[in-house]
Structure 1
């Protein structure tokens, strides 16, 4: 059995963890992978999608992407009878396409509630967001609703960039925004690359005691950032993306076998605080999963014929 993996984004801890999980589960299931990395280039991903269909795999797994650019390839896959599983792709689920994501609304709601406990109802905040990416758009819906419910919160700047160097470029933007808005006490950064950039900016300006960062996603590298002395990154909403990659591949195998009910799957998230990480002396993802076992879902989308 062969599965084509067509990735839009592949630079950063989340994307590396995801493909690691995909590969691990593929190896266990005896599935051969053909991986296409688009390096954030939508046109390249669209081309790779069409190339993947032409290679006649048993299934296609898409990691991130835009529905508009992928639409021609998705139509080709449907016409060829090749099942598709998409993770964070702006595409309508269908009989041929199963759409996966995380519990974005839950993650965003929880980190914003923690922020409110810190800032109170009246505060200046910076928001990191780039429209057009399904994960960020999903989280933005909850963020906008939260702002409407808490009118005392004042968003003084919206920053963020999606590139091969997101953290560094976001840090530059955050430094400029913090310098221009000295009363800011919180940065909402709902992606770990945004959060790492926000942390860099806060630390370079020496504002750790005043400005806190509220993120989404976690990895071993992120844990090191959150737990170091003086880190402003105090909470993150997350799944374990190695686990998500494994679930994605099991879902793909079930889709190929025509053993999936429904066409939407959301991975349940957890909320991780800086205090929790420090109290348990957690330094890596293995230790975190031992502390928060709900991050590991080995039975989700698993059939009896799949060996553990």
Structure 2
């Protein structure tokens, strides 16, 4: 009996040992996944943000913004939009102002190329001066986005404010207010792509409304465009001193509109109405002034123009497809739609539908890039 008992006891010990080992083998893996999951959850936010952003734009991007001229408040708010968008994306921007010298502008472009920036923005300028440099930039793999220029190079995106619509919206309003008949002054200067496009619509307008007569035409672009326009408009008012001699002024640039408005106000000739193009904080204040002759202006948000241009160049850097041509939708800002209290451009969207809310050139990763830079 003893041997049998011994055998049974030995077998029992083996069974207990196997059970204990089996429990250890089962309980060990349960603890390990718990620790692994905790670690993964803690690291997830950082990895998710970076993995959704194209690697090409995860480094600080260097942008060169080359301007034909920085004239007036439109230009300053445009640059503000460029700088704001680049900063939100964690990049840096160097602004070059050519002071309306196309040769100097071409030199700035060459400088930017030689510095091997990541992207180039061009504001105005003409193809005959800039296309060789733009082609060189593209050949070197530097993305280029152009605003308001006649440059036409494959792979380069050219954006504009839809100058044809801007001019027509303003001129149509002028014609309706005059009931298709009257005498007007035209303030204009050539040599700028947007001005040439706006003038093409003005010429069509003259054919469409033959009873609206142009009695005077002038204009210069300088460092003091608004002041020069004011002086020239004062001379026109002396030439046509009687009420009814002039019904309206078409000023397809806000610097022209500011100068014409001040001359009319100082002469006490508020019966003459001003119809402009472009908009800024200063323009809004002038339009909202009591009895202001400036009654309407077709415009896009200059800061939004700058932001859209930056977003396009970031899309190019990220390797995304972008259009060759893109026009931002303009809006008609009418004095009668504005509130009594003075407002700034930031509040204009409350009174003008869709103002400053363009979703153009947006990619899903841009929001994540902005969030990452904010953190």
**TM beyond 0.5:** yes
The aligned counterpart of 2:230 is: 171
170, 173, 176: which one pairs with 1:111?
170
* 1:12-23 alignment runs, 5 A limit: 12-23=72-83
The aligned counterpart of 2:54 is: none
State the Cα deviation string for residues 202-238 of structure 1 (Å, max 9, x = none). 1122101x21000011111111100111210000001
RMSD: 1.5
CA distance in 2, matches of 1:229, 1:299: 35
Structure with the higher helix share, 1 or 2: 2
Question: Could you say what secondary structure the match of 1:135 adopts?
Answer: helix
Q: Please report the TM-score for the alignment, with normalisation by the length of structure 2.
A: 0.78
State the Cα deviation string for residues 138-160 of structure 1 (Å, max 9, x = none). 11111110111111111111111
253, 257, 260: which one pairs with 1:198?
260
- The alpha carbon displacement at 1:38 in A equals 1.2
Question: Could you say what secondary structure the match of 2:226 adopts?
Answer: helix
The aligned counterpart of 2:143 is: 83
148, 159, 162: which one pairs with 2:221?
162
Quick check: 2:82–2:309 contact (8 Å CA) kept in 1? yes
- The alpha carbon displacement at 1:98 in A equals 0.8
Say if 2:132 is the partner of 1:72: yes
* 1:1-308 alignment runs, 5 A limit: 1-92=61-152, 94-182=153-241, 183-208=245-270, 210-278=271-339, 281-307=341-367
Question: Could you say what secondary structure the match of 2:206 adopts?
Answer: helix
Quick check: 1:237–1:270 contact (8 Å CA) kept in 2? yes
Q: List alignment gaps of at least 5 residues for structure 2.
A: 1-60, 371-375
Q: Which contiguous aligned blocks of 4+ residues in structure 1 show a shift greater than 4 angstroms?
A: none
- The alpha carbon displacement at 1:253 in A equals 0.6
Q: List alignment gaps of at least 5 residues for structure 1.
A: none
Q: Rg bigger for which structure?
A: 2
Question: Could you say what secondary structure the match of 1:164 adopts?
Answer: coil
Quick check: 1:223–1:284 contact (8 Å CA) kept in 2? yes
Greater Cα shift, 217-226 or 289-298 = 289-298
State the Cα deviation string for residues 156-180 of structure 1 (Å, max 9, x = none). 1111111110000011111212322
- The alpha carbon displacement at 1:41 in A equals 1.9
Q: Please report the TM-score for the alignment, with normalisation by the length of structure 1.
A: 0.95
Question: Could you say what secondary structure the match of 1:132 adopts?
Answer: coil
